[in-house]
Amino acid sequence: MDNRPRRNRKSAAIRSLVRETRLTPDRLIYPLFITADESAYNPIASLPGQAQLGEKELLKEIEESLKIGINAFVLFPAVAETLKDETASYSWAEENFYLHRIRSVKERFPEAVLMSDVAMDPYSSDGHDGLVKDGKIVNDGTLPILAKMSVAQAQAGIDIIGPSDMMDGRVGEIREALDENAYTDVSIMSYTAKYASAYYGPFRDALDSKPKFGDKKTYQMDPANSKEALREALLDEEEGADFLMVKPALCYLDIIAKLKEFSSLPISAYNVSGEYAMVKAAAEKGWLDEAKAADEMLLSIARSGADIILTYFAKDYATRFLNGNIHH
C-alpha cells in the first residue's frame, strides 16, 4: 500500500505541521452587551457567562480581553423601553449612553477596534430593524435613519459600522453619509447574508428587542436560499462595503464558503447566541465537553472560509489559546 494518509496523523507534532486551518484570537470579534447603568453586571440567563455591562464592567472586560489577544469588539445597547420611539431617535441623541460608552472605551483603549450595531430594533418601539408604517416595514424611509445613526457612531469614535438591518441600499446610503461628514476612514462590515433564523433568541432576550408584531422574514433572508447571498454580496460590494458577513455561522457554512470564493473582500461570520447557548446547555447537562465542542465549532467556521469570527466564545478561546489548551 503506497498511500497511507495516516502517516500525516501519527503524532501531535506531525498533525500540527500539516494542519490546514489555524484560528488565532486576533481573528475574533467579541460581542458585548452594554447598559446605561454605570456599574451594572446583569447576567443573561439564556447566555450563560455573558452579561449586560455598565461602563466600569465594560472597560474591565475590554482590558482583560486585550491582554489575551482579543483586539476587536462589537457593542450592542440594551435600551430602556421608555427611550424607544417609532423613529429610533435616541440612537443619535447626544445623551445616548451607547455613544458615551464608545467614547469612553476609545479614550481608555485607543488600540481597541470597536464595531457598532446599526439597525432600528434596539431603539424602536416596534422592535423591527426598519421603520414601520401601516403595519409594514418600509425600506427607503429607513435609510436616512440608519445613515444618521451611523454618523453619530462615527463621531463617537467607532471604527467599523455594522449595519444589521438588511434594508436594500443601506450600505450605499451609509457610505455616502460617512463620506459627506469626513468619516472616509470608517469601515462598513455589512451583514450581507443575514438569515431569518431561529438561533437569535438569546440575543433578543439580552436586548429585549423582540418584534412587537410579526417577524423579520420580509427583510432577513430565507434559510432555503444560497444564490441570493451572492446577489446581496455583489450589491454590498458595489455600494462600498469593506467586509461581508454571514449570520448565523454554523447552519450556513456553505454560504461562508460561497462568499469566500465569490468575493475578494474579507468574509466574517457571526457565531450567534443560539449556537453558543446550545453548547453551553449541553455542557451543563454533561452531554458535551464545552471547550472541545466550542473549539471544533469555531474551527469549522474558519475552515469554511471565514477570515473573521464574531463569537461569544472569544474570551474563553483566547484564554485556552494563550495557555496552549486548544482542542484541535
Letter string b/e over residues 171-186, b meaning 16 or more CB atoms within 10 A of that residue's CB: bbbbbebbeeeebeeb
315 is catalytic: no
Distance, first Cα to last Cα, the chain: 28
Task: Give the residue ranges of DSSP H helices in the chain.
Answer: 12-18, 55-67, 97-108, 143-156, 170-180, 201-207, 227-239, 253-262, 273-284, 290-303, 314-322
Amino acid (1-letter code) at residue 314: A
What does the alpha-carbon distance between residue 43 and residue 104 come to, in Å, rounded to a whole number? 22
Comparing C-alpha atoms, which of 45, 230, 212, 3 is closest to residue 127?
212
Helical pair 170-180 and 143-156, crossing angle rounded to 10 deg: 40
What does the alpha-carbon distance between residue 227 and residue 218 come to, in Å, rounded to a whole number? 17
C-alpha cell at 125: 418601539
- With H, G, I as helix, E, B as strand and everything else as coil, classify residue 145: helix
What does the alpha-carbon distance between residue 327 and residue 293 come to, in Å, rounded to a whole number? 9
Catalytic residue of the set 84, 210, 227, 247: 247
247 is catalytic: yes
Q: Spell out the residues 6+ positions from residue 46 whose beta carbon is closer than 8 angstroms to its own.
A: 201, 202, 205, 206, 273, 277
What does the alpha-carbon distance between residue 105 and residue 23 come to, in Å, rounded to a whole number? 26
What does the alpha-carbon distance between residue 111 and residue 66 come to, in Å, rounded to a whole number? 9
The C-alpha angle 50, 55, 57, rounded to 5 degrees, equals 45
Catalytic residue of the set 84, 194, 216, 260: 194
Q: So which residues are the catalytic ones?
A: 194, 247
